[in-house]
């Protein structure tokens, strides 16, 4: 899968793309991610990418010309062009899975008070928010989206199986996990996990999932 990220702060993604699972997925060519600086498409002497909003108000707005030029330069037929914005449609695990099946994504990170509406009207297919809070820019939101969808690409997770047990695939939150030592600072691992009885272990885990979900995310049970 190919992903182009368009941002004014490309270095924000340096560590993210080279570390851990993502780093390995890129090395293995399961993912081909290119981070591009929108400023490279600004044509004036000062390489301007933003300007004051018509109608007044605080902050600056990203200009049409460099952003549209950047998108038009990287887009391919059938690609999905996504703008990361707090006023977008809330991101979910289902959306991550859907996007993981695309051939090519173009992710636009916005800044300041937003971007000119005509960019959204002409070269954006979809607008996504990663949560009800406002980040200083959408670059980390793009990273969150990439990280979540990468887990659905076959081969990215070491053990394919680890997807099936998980929160949001099952609509229940996860059960508690323990590893060695069996006793730590006076706290012991629940007996059942040491029993080797997998029927009982599964029963215990499901009960824990239901209780946790009821406490923390009762909305998921509806």
Minimum Å gap between C-beta 128 and ligand ADE is 6
Minimum Å gap between C-beta 206 and ligand ADE is 33
Minimum Å gap between C-beta 70 and ligand ADE is 17
Q: How, if at all, do strands 80-90 and 126-129 pair? A: parallel
Q: Which is nearer to ligand ADE, 71 or 130 (CB)?
A: 130
Q: Which residue is nearest to ligand ADE (CB)?
A: 141
Q: Which is nearer to ligand ADE, 105 or 172 (CB)?
A: 105
Q: Which residue in this structure is represented by tokens 């460099």? A: 66
Q: Which is nearer to ligand ADE, 135 or 146 (CB)?
A: 135
Quickly count: other Cβ atoms within 10 Å of residue 49's Cβ.
23
Binding site for ligand ADE (CB under 6 A): 84-86, 129-131, 133-135, 138, 141
Structure tokens at 174: 């996860």
Q: Which is nearer to ligand ADE, 9 or 212 (CB)?
A: 9
Helical spans, DSSP H, in 60-181: 64-74, 93-99, 117-123, 139-150
Listed in sequence order, the residues at least 6 apart from 146 whose beta carbon sits closer than 8 Å to its beta carbon are: 3, 5, 22, 31, 33, 107
Minimum Å gap between C-beta 113 and ligand ADE is 11
Beta bridge partner(s), residue 7: 37
Comparing CA positions, the residue from 4, 1, 74, 70 lying closest to residue 34 is 4
Minimum Å gap between C-beta 130 and ligand ADE is 4
Q: Which is nearer to ligand ADE, 130 or 149 (CB)?
A: 130
Cis peptide leading into residue 181 (ω within 30°): yes
């Amino acid at each position: 899968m190919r992903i182009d990220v368009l941002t004014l702060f490309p270095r924000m993604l340096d560590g993210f793309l080279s570390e851990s699972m993502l780093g390995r997925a890129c090395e293995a060519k399961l993912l081909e991610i290119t981070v591009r600086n929108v400023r490279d498409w600004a044509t004036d002497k000062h390489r301007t990418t933003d300007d004051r909003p018509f109608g007044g108000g605080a902050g600056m707005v990203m200009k049409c010309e460099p952003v549209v030029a950047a998108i038009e330069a990287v887009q391919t037929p059938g690609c999905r062009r996504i703008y990361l914005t707090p006023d977008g449609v809330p991101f979910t695990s289902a959306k991550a899975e859907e996007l993981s099946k695309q051939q090519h994504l173009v992710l636009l990170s916005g800044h300041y008070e937003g971007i000119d509406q005509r960019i959204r009207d002409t070269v954006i297919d979809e607008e996504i928010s990663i949560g009800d809070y406002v980040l200083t820019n959408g670059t980390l939101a793009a990273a969150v989206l990439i990280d979540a969808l990468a887990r659905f690409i076959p081969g990215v997770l070491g053990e394919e199986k680890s997807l099936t047990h998980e929160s949001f695939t099952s609509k229940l939150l996860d059960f508690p996990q323990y590893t060695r030592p069996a006793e730590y600072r006076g706290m012991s691992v629940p007996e059942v996990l040491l029993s080797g009885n997998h029927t009982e272990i599964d029963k215990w885990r499901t009960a824990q999932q239901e209780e946790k979900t009821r406490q923390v995310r009762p909305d998921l049970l509806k």
